[in-house]
Structure 1
């Protein structure tokens, strides 16, 4: 596959204002982004993910290492390199609030060198695609957060860059708008084959949209693997166990300590325990816990876990999984 972005050994440190202590935020991060793929760039808060994103977008300069976009080094050919990427960054105002929806689309297209006439068909398509046609003449500052977020992504698509970076695209949105936006993005991925980098804590977005994920923790890459492979790896060891009655807090804490991804769903007469076992023989340890507390097991079934559970297991365990 053709590389569209190459990140090689980038590092970034900060100095605390009060103590003058040097904090290493990014340490030797290396990964590729391939043309036409959807990459999830993930990490817990403070992991170095945001600094990495800002360096890719040219908002921060790396202390060491290189970043190239479409073969152009972002340090030595910054303006040319950044013509190939557009971004919606969480926490930044990506729109002009005193312009209408349509005016924002036309204005930012103009910034990229496109005339109003050139982009007119695409503007109409995006207004329909993002369900914004009925709002086209309303000022942005009067729109809901969900509408603003949809418009910001539409503006990014209108730039026609090789790469689109979406930082927390569903953050702060209600369930209905979040789902709608996921469906829109899925259709864009399917129909337009764009290269997209998604940074998100909304794991259904990652699971539904991303081909591959790079997970950063404590400033380093701990996973670079296809989402499907990670789900398959953990899926082989996931079980749903129905037990009679309820579990007391002591037993729940004991299980969580031994099996960190344990979850519990209590009903009127039974409890369903979902557990992920690293090794097949761990099931004997699980039943030892049940036996010691006199727990009655009614059934046990293989089940599947979602990507949020996979992400938490990787980050908490900080393991580098060897994929077959």
Structure 2
């Protein structure tokens, strides 16, 4: 399991707190999601767990071993994939990387060979096993890094953006592996990701960090339930409306740009549209003048909204007198 107590990391003379008294308890066999915006302190925390950064204060224990005081024993407890870092040697082939890191972890050559074949085959890299990693795409390099983290079958796996750069198929494979590691082998997994669907699907519990401090630490279902209660949005649109924005008729019908054009064609043919003919207060279409949607001289009226919005040069039959109980027919 992973135990973090009041973990703090400060940088520079200004004593900027990248991580501020973070405390977490992650039980064995669980998948723990660690979320937050860029710069929140996720990767800094992962690097302190991996022994790459020394905490300013606080304590980290991996499998019961203190990362600072019992470094060698703690390092044997985990494998890690760090986001944005060169987790493998680019000048070596995929096979050579796995053999090197497997032997570095203390495995026998036969064990490493068997494990490496399983990992590379599962990630679709078996045919490229003898090619140098430096010539791989970003996604393929990430696959090799994941295989390297799992080569010794560690009890703890630290995954910082493990699906970054992977295609849909490879992402599915990695997700299946994570679920299998926790469910069948009892591996403890600390996962950071900006892909919330991955976190929602895999994680038993989620912590959220913001500006170096924990703001939430809850089971995944409880966290989602809390957000659903506040899942309301207000959308404001600035600027001119698109030409095809539909306007609702006061009586429930719609009048869009095409309807306005059909009305204008009716005016040019010398007749009002069907819904305007015979209605009191509607301007005589024969008297409508080119150059805009305007009422007849002497009438107080408003133009059709569609013609007004597009500044039509054609006449419009929908000149509508202003009355307190009446609005534009469009």
TM-score with structure 2 setting the length: 0.67
CA distance in 1, matches of 2:218, 2:37: 17
Question: Quick check: which has more Rg, 1 or 2?
Answer: 2
Assess if the C-alpha contact under 8 Å between 1:164 and 1:197 holds in 2.
yes
Residue 33 of structure 1 corresponds to which residue in structure 2? 26
RMSD over aligned CA atoms reads 2.6
Within the candidate set 8, 11, 16, 1:11 is matched to 8
Assess if the C-alpha contact under 8 Å between 2:122 and 2:173 holds in 1.
no
Q: 1:103 to 1:216 in 2, by over 3 A?
A: same
CA distance in 2, matches of 1:248, 1:52: 38
CA distance in 1, matches of 2:179, 2:218: 20
Alpha-carbon offset, residue 238 of structure 1: 4.6
Alpha-carbon offset, residue 234 of structure 1: 2.9
Alpha-carbon offset, residue 35 of structure 1: 0.5
- The answer to whether the aligner puts 1:249 opposite 2:242 as a matched pair is no
Residue 232 of structure 1 corresponds to which residue in structure 2? 225
CA distance in 2, matches of 1:52, 1:248: 38
1:62-141 mapped onto 2 (5 Å cutoff): 62-141=55-134
Could you report, residue by residue, the CA deviation over 1:67-91 in whole angstroms, capped at 9, with x for unpaired residues? 1111111221111111101211112
CA distance in 1, matches of 2:40, 2:10: 13
Alpha-carbon offset, residue 178 of structure 1: 3.9
Moved more, 230-239 or 63-72: 230-239
Alpha-carbon offset, residue 50 of structure 1: 2.1
Matched residue pairs, number? 243
Could you report, residue by residue, the CA deviation over 1:142-192 in whole angstroms, capped at 9, with x for unpaired residues? 222111111111111112221110111122445554455434444444443
- The answer to whether the aligner puts 1:22 opposite 2:15 as a matched pair is yes
CA distance in 1, matches of 2:184, 2:117: 17
CA distance in 2, matches of 1:79, 1:120: 24
CA distance in 2, matches of 1:69, 1:11: 17
Higher normalized strand content (fraction of residues):
1
Alpha-carbon offset, residue 38 of structure 1: 0.6
Q: 1:145 to 1:191 in 2, by over 3 A?
A: farther
Alpha-carbon offset, residue 29 of structure 1: 0.8
Structure 1: gaps spanning 5 or more residues: 242-246, 252-266, 271-324
Residue 318 of structure 1 corresponds to which residue in structure 2? none
Structure 2: gaps spanning 5 or more residues: 248-330
CA distance in 2, matches of 1:248, 1:209: 35
1:156-175 mapped onto 2 (5 Å cutoff): 156-174=149-167
Assess if the C-alpha contact under 8 Å between 2:63 and 2:77 holds in 1.
yes
Could you report, residue by residue, the CA deviation over 1:282-316 in whole angstroms, capped at 9, with x for unpaired residues? xxxxxxxxxxxxxxxxxxxxxxxxxxxxxxxxxxx
SS of corresponding position for 2:149: helix
Moved more, 31-40 or 171-180: 171-180
1:152-301 mapped onto 2 (5 Å cutoff): 152-174=145-167, 177-235=170-228, 238=231, 249=237
CA distance in 2, matches of 1:163, 1:269: 57
